[in-house]
Structure 1
Amino acid sequence: IMTVKGNCDGEVDQMVLDFPILADYALLSLDGLTVFMTHGHHHNTTTPPPLKRGDILLHGHTHILACEKFGNDNLYLNPGSAALPKAGNPKTYMIYENRKFTCKDFSGNVIFEIQL
C-alpha cells in the first residue's frame, strides 16, 4: 500500500496504522515511469509540482475519477474515493501492475485502465 498525507490526516491517525501515511508526497519510479503521488490539495493540475515531460501526477483530493493528459505531455490520474466518491462515481480504488493503472469499483468492475 502506498499512501500520502491527506488534508484531514494527522499524527493521531498514524498511531493506529501499520503503514506510513504522513508524507506530503511520494516520488515513485515504477518500471521506468515517474509518478508524483500527492493528496492534491497543494499540488494538482492547476498548481502542479515540478514535472518532466511524460511524468504522471496521481492525486485524489477531489474524489472524482480522472485519467487525462495535461501540461507538457503529462498524465493526471485520480483514483476517486473508496469512502466518499463525488460526481456520481461509485466507490473505487486503483492498482498498478506492469506499467498499467487500473481503477475498479468494489464489485471488481474495471472503471478505467491505461497501459503505458
Structure 2
Amino acid sequence: MKKNILRRLAMKIFVMSDIHGSSYFLKKALEAYKKEEAKYILILGDELYHGPRNPLPLEYNPKEVADILNNYKDKIIAVRGNCDSEVDQMMLQYPILGDYSTIFFKEKRIFVTHGHVYSEENLPNICEGDIFMYGHTHLPVAYEKDGIYRLNPGSISLPKGGNVNSYGILEDNYFCIKSLDGDIIKEIEIK
C-alpha cells in the first residue's frame, strides 16, 4: 500500500518539441501522454508553423493543432521556438512567447528553452547539477557534461539524423526518450 501512495506522489512530466503543425503526430504524442499518465506537458517550442527550412509534416494543420493543444491548456508549460510568433500566441490559450522558463523539480533547477537562443554552445547561467532542456535540433539527447544535464526529446513530427519521432519523460531522478510506440531510445539517471 505504501508503494502506491509514493507512486501517486511522484510527478511525471511529458516533454515534447517541434510539433510543426502536424495534427497527425500531435495526436500520436497525446495518446502517449495519456498512456504515460503524466501530470503536465512541457512543450519546447515550434508548435504550429513548419518553418521555411522544413518540409510539410504529415497532416499539416496548424489551426487543428492549436485547437487540440487548447484542450490541454491547464496542463501545458511552453516556451517559444524559432518558428513561433505573436500570431501563434493569438491562437493558443497558454503562454508560448518566453524564450525560456525555469522549473524546479526534485530539488533540481531545469532551464527550459527551445535551443535557438540558448544552446549547448551558448549555455545560460546555470549551476552544476542543473538541467538544460531544449528542442530545436530534432535530435534526441540525454547526457551529462561538466556537471550539467543536457536533455532534448527530439521531434515528434520531423526527426532528423535518422532518428524516430520521439518524446521525453521526466519522472523522479530519471529522464528517458521514447519513440511514439513507447520504446526507450535513450535514458539517463539524474543524480
1:80 to 154, 158, 162: 154
Aligned residues: 115
Give the whole-Å Cα distance in 2 for the aligned partners of 1:93 and 1:17: 21
* 2:83 paired with 1:8: yes
Q: Matched residue of 1:113: which SS?
A: strand
Give the whole-Å Cα distance in 1 for the aligned partners of 2:152 and 2:95: 20
Q: CA deviation at 1:48?
A: 0.5
Indicate conservation of the 8 Å contact 2:103/2:110, yes or no.
Answer: yes
Q: Matched residue of 1:15: which SS?
A: helix
1:1-116 alignment to 2 at 5 Å?
A: 1-2=41-42, 3-70=78-145, 72-116=146-190
Q: CA deviation at 1:91?
A: 0.5
Q: CA deviation at 1:21?
A: 1.4
Q: Does 1 or 2 have the higher relative contact order (CA < 8 Å, sep 6+)?
A: 2
Q: CA deviation at 1:67?
A: 1.1
Q: Structure 2: where are the runs of 5+ without partners? A: 1-40, 43-77
Q: Percent identity?
A: 43
Runs of at least 4 residues of structure 1 off by over 6 A?
Answer: none
Give CA-to-partner distance per residue, 1:22-61, whole Å, 9 cap, x none: 1110111101111111011111111110011111111111
Question: CA RMSD for the aligned pairs?
Answer: 1.3
Indicate conservation of the 8 Å contact 2:175/2:188, yes or no.
Answer: yes
Q: CA deviation at 1:17?
A: 2.1
Give CA-to-partner distance per residue, 1:7-32, whole Å, 9 cap, x none: 01012112222322111101111011
Q: Structure 1: where are the runs of 5+ without partners? A: none
Indicate conservation of the 8 Å contact 1:33/1:99, yes or no.
Answer: no
Higher Cα radius of gyration: 2
Q: TM-score scaled to structure 2, two decimals?
A: 0.57
